[in-house]
Amino acid sequence: MSKTGWAWTWFGFLLALDIAIPWFVLTHVKKMSGAFLFWTIWVVLAIISAFVIFLKWKEARQ
């Protein structure tokens, strides 16, 4: 698979977790260490993934 394909797949996986974990795994955890902590870590992971990709960008000739 191309790098673009992998990046889209990773993004799709993140979105699947967005629903799966809070609604099906943490739905009874009435604590800040439940959905609140999950979403915080989850988005940090998404941000780091974006950094890993865009830090490789370099100037292109116009």
Does position 31 interact with another protein (CB under 8 A)? The reply is: yes
59 C-beta neighbours (distance < 10 Å), count: 5
- Residue partners of 34: CB distance under 8 A and separation at least 6: 22, 26
Does position 55 interact with another protein (CB under 8 A)? The reply is: yes
What's the min distance (Å) between Cβ of 28 and another protein? 7
Does position 19 interact with another protein (CB under 8 A)? The reply is: yes
Does position 3 interact with another protein (CB under 8 A)? The reply is: yes
Give the binding-site size for another protein (rule: CB under 8 A): 41
DSSP string of 11-35, one letter each residue:
HHHHHHHHHHIIIIISTT--STTTH
Does position 1 interact with another protein (CB under 8 A)? The reply is: no
